[in-house]
Structure 1
Amino acid sequence: MNFKAPHIITEGAISYELGSLKGREIKYDFDKILVYLDAKGKLLFGKKFRIYREDREILYKLSLYFIQDKERCKQLDIDVDKGLLLSGPVGCGKTSLMKLFKFMVPHQRPYEVIPSRNIVFGFNHLGFKIIGDYGNNQSFCFDDMGVEPDGVHFGKECNVMGEILLSRYELFTDHRLKTHATTNLNAQELEARYGNRVRSRMRELFNLVGFDKDCRDKR
């Protein structure tokens, strides 16, 4: 990674210039960002990956968020200091995009994408230690949140992801540490799954960015 030119990303023998440097400020070019995302997506997920024209609006919002364009984000009611909750129907590409976008800003703090159901399986095996493990100072994106089962450890039931979100909220308020997530559920379904207290914390933790409910299945 070139820290002096974080807008230039090299993949193999090819360099992708996502914009231009004006003094100490990067002027990003959205079309150049899309070229990079398409190329990196093919490297990560195979040659069938592609950027869809109908996703242009959501890709624009995500790009503005990740490049921290505070002025334009404010116009779109996106808070660059919060995390992202990317919602949409099954197969619309949420997980792939969250795995992909972090490569666009290698100079920013990285996050790990973890399936929520895997966290619950870890709880069933190891118990409450798992909740502490995800309430630490790392950054995470909890994938497919809301459809994971409840955890059970030695007969004790626990809404594992709900408890972890409460821990992540404390990290956000105390240390401004971001949390991201993807979900197939809408706001009412999330509240039914996690309860009103967690849902209110989620409003403070996340910017909600959503695919259209009629978005095509891209799998």
Structure 2
Amino acid sequence: MSSNKPHIIIEKGVEFHLGSLNGNMIQYDFKKILIYLDAKGKLIFGKHFKIYEEDEIILYKLCIYFIRDFEACEKLKIDPNKGILLSGPVGCGKTSLMKLLRYIVPHQKAYELIPARNITFAFNNLGYKTIEEYGNSNFYCFDDLGVETTGRHFGKDCNVMGEILLSRYDLFLKRNIKTHSTTNLNAQELEERYGNRVRSRMRQMFNLISFDSKSVDKRN
């Protein structure tokens, strides 16, 4: 990928054209993006990886968000200024897609994908410094939100991810710094896990994009 041609990505000597340049605007082609994602997925996850036809609606929503197609986003009520909360059953491919999608926009700042449970483990060892660290201005995708245990440091319990989400909300309001997350939980389960205050902040911070609850476990 050259800096003035972010729509052309080279992987293992193969050029992938995700669209065409029209002046200084990129006209993306969704089918070409899917071809690239399939190839990149195989490079990252192994030759068993594939793009499933039933996931193309989800992928389309994610793609128009990441490429910042404002017109298409408006039609589907997706706010490009919010983050993504990608929800769905275990094994439907949420984590893989969030790892992959950042590669279609190499000219944008990439987010770091971190399992929520790892953050809680860090809190148990390091304490409140961990919450400060993730409440900073870096760009994160918190993976598997809601499956982490309650944090405990020196005998005090803490809903670590809930506190971090509140910090991220402040960053979102003051500096428009986005946060992404994946979760297996539905809206009610998230509220039970983090409380009404965090849940209401999440509504303001995230675009909710959901897999069908009957999505197959792709790890089988």
| Short-chain TM bin | over 0.9
1:1-219 pair list within 5 angstroms = 1-219=1-219
Cα deviation for residue 113 of structure 1 reads 0.4
CA distance in 1, matches of 2:168, 2:110: 16
SS at match of 1:84: strand
SS of corresponding position for 2:145: coil
- 4+ aligned runs moved over 4 Å, structure 1: none
Segments of 5+ residues of structure 1 without an aligned counterpart are: none
Distance apart, 1:52 and its partner CA: 0.3
**TM-score, normalised with respect to structure 1:** 0.99
Calculate percent identity across the aligned residue pairs.
Answer: 66
Deviation of 1:137 after TM superposition, in Å, equals 1.1
For the residue of structure 2 that corresponds to 1:195, the secondary structure is helix
The letter of the residue matching 1:52 is Y
**Structure 2 portions without partners, runs of 5+:** none
How does the TM-score come out when normalised to structure 2? Answer: 0.99
2:186 maps to amino acid: N
3-state secondary structure, aligned to 2:203: helix
- Displacement of 1:12 after TM fit? 1.8
Indicate the SS of the match to 2:173.
Answer: helix
Opposite residue 170 of structure 2, the aligned amino acid is E
Report how far residue 142 of structure 1 moved: 0.2
1:83-133 Cα shifts (integer Å, max 9, x gaps)? 000000000000000000001101111100000000000000000000000
Amino acid in the other structure paired with 2:203: R
Q: SS of the counterpart of 2:50?
A: coil
Summarize deviations over 1:113-170 as a string: whole Å, max 9, x none: 0000000000000000000000111100000001110000000100000000000001
Q: How well do the aligned residues superpose, as a CA RMSD in angstroms?
A: 0.5
Q: 1:151 corresponds to which letter in structure 2?
A: G
Amino acid at match of 2:85: L
In 1: Cα distance, 2:177 partner to 2:14 partner: 33
CA distance in 1, matches of 2:56, 2:126: 42
The code of the aligned residue for 2:91 comes to G
Q: Deviations over 1:163-196 (max 9, x none)?
A: 0000000111111001000000000000000000
